[in-house]
Structure 1
Amino acid sequence: MSGFPNGLVLEIAANSHLSALAAQAGGADRIELCENLGEGGTTPSYGTLAMTRDKLSIPIFVLIRPRAGDFLYDARETEVMLHDIAACRQLGCDGVVIGALDSAGTIDLPLCRELVAAASGMQVTFHRAFDAVRDPVQALESIIALGCHRVLTSGAQADAVRGAAAIAGFVRQAADRLSILAGAGLTPGNVSGLIEATGVSEVHASAKARRPSAMAYRNPALTGLEYDRQETDPAIVAAFRQALATR
């Protein structure tokens, strides 16, 4: 449910339990809970799911993605996703975020039907696998037929601002059959213009900032270990809210 009188919805991609708490503190309408945002996001741990569901009062949608890389999944990965959806149901999560393609770059309808059926009773968002399809117009019709409630998209571009024209086309195509959720590269400074250009009513951002590590000792030989981390910043979330509230 939107917290804005103008009906806009702010979804924050939270990459940890702490990020989820920060998103709520900053005024997010809901979160997409995930891990490994640097790799496009993967499914969070059960502990993260359980603690976040216990501490948050806003809706929690959970990313169901068993690994980084492409969106072509085998039978074993399908079983993992089905188990993760079952865990979301058990914990009382509000929605899941799914997506799968075949090798030809079209929606994997048999697999997606299975995932949507497993999520019955929860909201279903189709994630940015949509941006990797061969024919977005056809793919959007397939996603609508699956019964998904929304599609997260950057307009098949590196960021939603560059994909604004395509996103506007998806909004017109979808009409009132599902919601187009615009995301990737959004900031408090560009989100209002993106809404104006596309007509979307839901936006998605990570609102993250660098969190320096408190470690006093750092082993310089561990060149692959990044001590600092990216975490949702409640001040950036609040800035998004301010930008949306003044539209």
Structure 2
Amino acid sequence: MSVLLEVIATTVADARLAVQAGANRLELVTAMGEGGLTPSLGLIEAVVAAADFRAANAAVGAPAAGVPVNVIVRPHSRSFVYDADDYAVMLRDVRAVKAAGANGVVIGMLTPDGEIDREGLARAIDAADGMAITFHRAFDETRDLQKALDVLLGFDAVTNVLTSGGKPSVLQAESIVRELVRQAACSHCTVLAGAGLTVDAVAGFVSATKVQAVHFGAGVRVGGNSLAPVDAAKVAQVRALLDAKRS
């Protein structure tokens, strides 16, 4: 099985470059330097349309059905603990993301004591109404990653957990990620490894951890700069390395 490659897009141009270079899925965000915030409705609609690429895909050899777009829903970067007003905004945004035709939402919410906010997550899942759910790196701020993963595995709608293994860079957490992959094995949920991955390190990381999905932000941008555009050559290189691992 090929390792899934998810790439962060912050613009329509990012989306086009990533799709044409071989990304399997996009995460659409704004304010990447703050860890990602909810994009505007106009941007969501434009990126969903761009990633669909039904006619253009035939010319570049990409999948005819296009590439799924998951959209972050995060109202601010102050914390992952949200009040009633935050949730009112988030649930409206989740519904808007679905109406815009996105594949899924990327969310994460915690209680003040560093646990998964189960009630808040359940409300978001209900608003998503069948869309795929990725729980983002709020997961890395929980007090116990294995306990937190057990909680998320109890929600059938949560199909991905984005994690750096609780470290600033996932490359510092190979053993932790490997254990999380084992814990999630044979479940409906995929461990999506990201934060700090580089083109040079990805093949060794995949071999060491056995992850089936990787997430790239700055690592596939021009100059490794989170504020720069996607570098299509780097995306293509990562795709080729992942395909070589399969073979």
> TM-score when scaled to structure 2?
0.88
What aligned pairs does 1:69-84 form with structure 2 within 5 A after superposition? 69-84=78-93
| Map of 1:28 onto structure 2 | 23
Percent identity, aligned pairs only, is 38
Cα displacement (A) at 1:72: 0.5
Deviation string 1:156-195 (CA, Å, 9 cap, x unpaired) is 0011110111111101111121110000111121111111
Q: 3-state DSSP class of the match of 1:117?
A: helix
Cα displacement (A) at 1:37: 0.9
| Map of 1:41 onto structure 2 | 36
Cα displacement (A) at 1:104: 0.2
Residue 86 (1) aligns with residue 70 (2): no
* Partners of 2:107 and 2:15 in 1: CA distance: 19
Please tell me whether the aligned partners of residues 11 and 205 of structure 1 are also in contact (alpha carbons under 8 angstroms).
Answer: yes
| Map of 1:202 onto structure 2 | 213
Unaligned runs of 5+ in 1: 1-5, 213-227
* Partners of 1:211 and 1:246 in 2: CA distance: 23
> TM-score when scaled to structure 1?
0.88
Deviation string 1:51-96 (CA, Å, 9 cap, x unpaired) is 1111212100001111113100111111111111111111111111
* Partners of 1:205 and 1:155 in 2: CA distance: 15
Cα displacement (A) at 1:211: 11
Deviation string 1:98-133 (CA, Å, 9 cap, x unpaired) is 110011000011101100111122111100000000
From the CA coordinates, give the structure whose radius of gyration is larger: 1
Please provide the CA RMSD for this pair.
1.6
| Residue of structure 1 aligned with 2:191, choices 175, 180, 198 | 180
Cα displacement (A) at 1:210: 5.1
Amino acid at match of 2:194: G
Unaligned runs of 5+ in 2: 53-66
| Residue of structure 2 aligned with 1:233, choices 217, 231, 234 | 231
Runs of 4+ in 1 over 6 A off after TM superposition: none
Please tell me whether the aligned partners of residues 153 and 180 of structure 1 are also in contact (alpha carbons under 8 angstroms).
Answer: yes
What aligned pairs does 1:1-247 form with structure 2 within 5 A after superposition? 6-57=1-52, 58-147=67-156, 148-177=158-187, 178-206=189-217, 207-209=220-222, 229-247=227-245
Please tell me whether the aligned partners of residues 154 and 164 of structure 1 are also in contact (alpha carbons under 8 angstroms).
Answer: no
Please tell me whether the aligned partners of residues 210 and 231 of structure 1 are also in contact (alpha carbons under 8 angstroms).
Answer: no
Q: Closer, same or farther in 2 for the Cα pair 1:13/1:176, shift >3 Å? A: same
Please tell me whether the aligned partners of residues 33 and 227 of structure 2 are also in contact (alpha carbons under 8 angstroms).
Answer: no
